[in-house]
Chains A and B, each alone.
Chain A
Amino acid sequence: MENAQPFPAPLVRTINLSRQYNMGASVIRAVDNVSVEIARGEFVALLGASGSGKSTLLHLLAGLDRPTSGSIEVAGRELGQLSAQELARYRRHTVGMVFQSFNLVPSMTLEENVELPMLFAEVDRQERRTRARQALERVGLAARMRHRPSEISGGEQQRASLARALVNEPVLLLADEPTGNLDSRTGEEIMSLIREFNQTLQMTVLLVTHEAPLADRFARRVLQMGDGKLIAPQVTSVASEAAQ
C-alpha cells in the first residue's frame, strides 16, 4: 500500500481476515486480523510453528473454510460471499492443493486419482485420459499410471498429488507441508518440481511449512505467523541459497 509497485491487481488480498472457533466458553482465534497480498506469479512461504494458524489461513484461501470476519479476495472473487456451489467451482478451477499426507484415494490408480478433479469439472472422458497422462508425464510418473498409491513410494505419491493439483490448470497452488512426510532428498525434488511449476506455468504458489531453511531456499518471500497473527513480512534474497 505504501508505495505503488508495478504489479497489476494482486491475485490474493486479505483484509483484516479472522477465523475464530468457539471451544466451549473460550474463543480460539486461529487467524486473527490478517491482511496480506500475494501477487500473480509469486512464490510465497508461510512459516510458523504448529498451531500458529497457518493451516487455517491456507484452508480459508482454499475455499474449504469460511472467514468469521474480514475480507478474502482471490482472483477478483470475494470468497466469503460465494455460495457453497460457487465455492466448489472455485476449488475446482482456481486453486490446486497439495497435502502433507498426499491424500490420494487409496482404492484408485494414479491415473484415476489425477482424473478425479476433472470428473467434478465434467470434462469428457477422452480428454480426461489425455490430460491425466500429460500431467503424470510432467511429474515423471508415466510408467506408474496404473499403480495404486500403496504400491509406490512417498515421493512418488506426492508427485502424483502434484499432478492432480495442476490438472485443472489452477492459478494458485496451495501446498500444506508438502515435504513433511518425506526424507530431505525427496523433499528437495518435490520442492524443485513446485518451483518449476511456479516458473514455467506462472502458477502462484503459497507454501506452508515449519522448515525455515526450505522456505528460505525456494520462496521469494517468507511470511511468518504466530498466534494467528502475521508477525513480520520479510523479503528473502535469492542469495540465501548460498547460506546452506
Chain B
Amino acid sequence: MKAYDLFDLASRNLRESVLRNGLTTAGIAVGVASLLAMLSLGVGLQQLAGKRLSGSGLFDTIAVSPQRTSGRDRGGETPHDGEPRILDEAARQHIVRLPNVVDVQPEIRFLSEVRFRDRSHVVSVGGLAPSARDNEAFEKMQGTFFSSAAAREAILKNELAKQLNEGNPPAVIGQELVIRYAERRPLPPSTPADSESEDGSAAGDEDYGFTVVRREEKLRITGIIDNEPYGGMRSSSRAGVFIPTQLAEELNIMQASDVSGASRTGASGKTYASLMVRVSDPTKAQAVEDAIGKMGFRTFSILDASQGLRRFFTILDLFLGIFGSLALAVASLGIINTLVMAVLERRREIGIMKAIGASDKDVQKLFFAEAGAMGLAGGVAGVLLGHAIGAAINFGTGIYLQRHQLPPETVWAAPLWLIAAAISFAIVVSLVSGLYPARRAARLDPVQALRYE
C-alpha cells in the first residue's frame, strides 16, 4: 500500500470512532503536556540559576597572583618550573592569548579626593572592565555604563551620590566630577650610575623606577548603581566611584602594589599584584585555571559551587522527567487498549481486507499508522496544552514575586528542541504501544474473521 493511501485509510478509520480515538489522543496530549511542563520547568529554573550565576560574575572569573617567592610555607617543594614568575605585562599578554579568555584586567583601587561642586570627599576608586557591564549590579542602574573602554567617565555608588546631592541623587548624572590621583611616571632607564649598578647582576642593566606626580582629571558621571559589582568579592568592587580600568592604566594611576613591585628583585617594568581573568563560559574556567597554573602563577576561582549546581539540575531534570513520563506511560496503556479494542471490533473488516488482497504487512502498517497518527495529534495538542500550563506557571510566579516586591522572572521555558523532542517521543511511545495490537491484527486468520458474525 502506498504511504499516502495508508495515511488516508488510517485517518478515516480514526474518524470513524471519533469519541474513543479522541479521548485516547487527549490522554496522550495530557501525558505530553505534563512531560513538557515538568522538563520546561527544569530548563527554566536552570536558565534562571545560570543567569544569576553568570550575572554575579563569580563563576567565570579567575584571580591570578604571583607565587610567593619565599619557600617558607612550602618546604623544599619548588612550584612548577622552579623559578617564580613575575606577574608583568608579558605574563598578562600570555594569559590573554589563552583559549576562552575574554579579558585580563588588573585590579584598580586607590584612595582619592574627589571634588563635586566645590566640595571634596575622600573615597575609594575602583576600576571596571568593559565586561563588567554583564554583571547583575548594572541591570537596574540609573543612567548608563561607560560609553567606551577608556572613556573619561565615572559611575557612582548610590551612597556617594546621596552625599553629593542629598535632595535628588540621580541629578548628578551627566555632571562633572574631578578626581585627584597620583600619576606614576617611569624614570628613563639611562639614569646615571647609582650605587646598585656596580653589582653587575642579571637585572642590572634595566633598572626600574618612577616618580610620583599629583594630577587631577575631570570625569563625567554616567550612572549610579545600588549594589557592589561581583557581590563585593573583589577589593576593587568595594568603592564609591568606578572608572574604566583602561582609563586608570592610561593615566598611570599609582597603585599600592607598585611600591612593592618596585622593591622586588627581577622586576623590570610594571608588575601587577593580581589580575582578573574572565573566561567565556564558567565550564571553561577549570581548563584556563590549569593553563595559568602551569605558567607558574597562583590561581583562585569559585568553581566547585557551579559544578555542584549543575549536578543538582541534572538530578532535578531526571526526576521531573520521570514524573512527567508517568502520565505518558498511562496514556500509552490507553493507546494499547483502544487499538486492541479496534482489532476486536474490526475483525471482520480485517478479514475482508485480507480476502481482497491485503497482506499481513498492509494490515500491520495500517494499525501502526493509526497509532502513529494518534501520537502525532496527541503530541501537538500536548505541546499546546503544555504551553498553556507553562504560561500559567510564569503568570502565577510573576504575581507571587510582585507581591513580595521582587522583579518578575521566567521560571518556565520550552526551547524548540524540547518541543520537537516531546512530539517525537509521543510518536515513538504510540508506535511502541501499537506494536502488539498491530501484530495481533496482522496475524488474524481471515477464514475465522469472515466466519465470525
Contacts and interface: CB of A to CB of B under 8 A. Distances in A.
Interface string B1-23: 11001000100110010000000
Interface stretch (A43-51, A113-121, A138-146, A213-221): A113-121
B267 to A, nearest CB: 87
B362 A62 contact: no
A88 interface: yes
A2 interface: no
A65 B356 contact: no
B309 interface: no
A122 B446 CA distance: 21
B341 interface: no
Contact of A107 (B16, B354, B356, B359): B16
Interface of A: 59, 62, 64-65, 84-85, 88-89, 91-93, 97, 99, 101, 103-105, 107, 116-117, 119-122, 125, 164-165, 168
B278 to A, nearest CB: 64
Given A88-B360, A119-B9, 4 more contacts: A101-B453, A103-B355, A105-B352, A120-B356
Contacts of A59: 447
B7 to A, nearest CB: 12
- CB-CB nearest 8 A-B residue pairs: A92-B357, A88-B359, A117-B356, A120-B357, A91-B357, A103-B352, A64-B446, A120-B358
Tell me what chain B mostly uses at the interface: helix, strand, loop, or mixed: helix
A88 B355 contact: no
B353 interface: yes
B159 interface: no
Contact of B353 (A85, A116, A122): A116
Contact of B357 (A65, A93, A104): A93
B450 interface: yes
Interface of B: 1-2, 5, 9, 12-13, 16, 348-349, 351-362, 446-447, 450, 453
B450 A103 contact: yes
Nearest to B453: A101
12 contacts: A64-B446, A64-B447, A65-B447, A84-B359, A85-B359, A92-B356, A103-B352, A104-B352, A119-B1, A120-B362, A121-B357, A168-B357
Nearest to A88: B359
Given A64-B446, A101-B453, A120-B1, A164 B359 contact: no
A99 B356 CA distance: 11
B353 A91 contact: no
A103 B355 CA distance: 10
B439 to A, nearest CB: 14
Contacts of B450: 64, 99, 103
Contact of B356 (A89, A101, A125, A164): A164
A93 B360 CA distance: 16
A165 B356 CA distance: 8
A220 B356 CA distance: 26
Contacts of B358: 88, 120
A107 B353 contact: no
Contact of B1 (A64, A107, A122): A122
Contacts of A107: 12-13, 16
A91 B447 CA distance: 13
Contacts of B13: 107
Nearest to B355: A97
B360 A64 contact: no
A107 B12 CA distance: 9
Contacts of A104: 352
Contacts of B348: 103
B354 A88 contact: yes
Given A84-B360, A85-B359, A122 B2 contact: yes
Contacts of A121: 357
Nearest to B6: A119
B384 to A, nearest CB: 29
A81 B453 CA distance: 31
Contacts of A85: 359-361
Contacts of B353: 105, 116, 120
A177 to B, nearest CB: 12
Name, among B13, B16, B356, the residue most crowded by chain A CB atoms within 10 Å (CB to CB): B356
Nearest to A83: B359
A180 B292 CA distance: 95
Nearest to A115: B5
B1 to A, nearest CB: 6
B357 to A, nearest CB: 3
B1 A91 contact: no
A92 B5 CA distance: 17
A64 B359 contact: no
Contacts of A125: 5
A123 B446 CA distance: 23
Contacts of A117: 356-357
A64 B357 contact: no
A146 to B, nearest CB: 15
Nearest to A93: B357
A88 B362 CA distance: 10
A88 B357 contact: yes
B357 A62 contact: no
A163 B5 CA distance: 21
A191 to B, nearest CB: 21
Contact of B354 (A64, A119, A122): A64
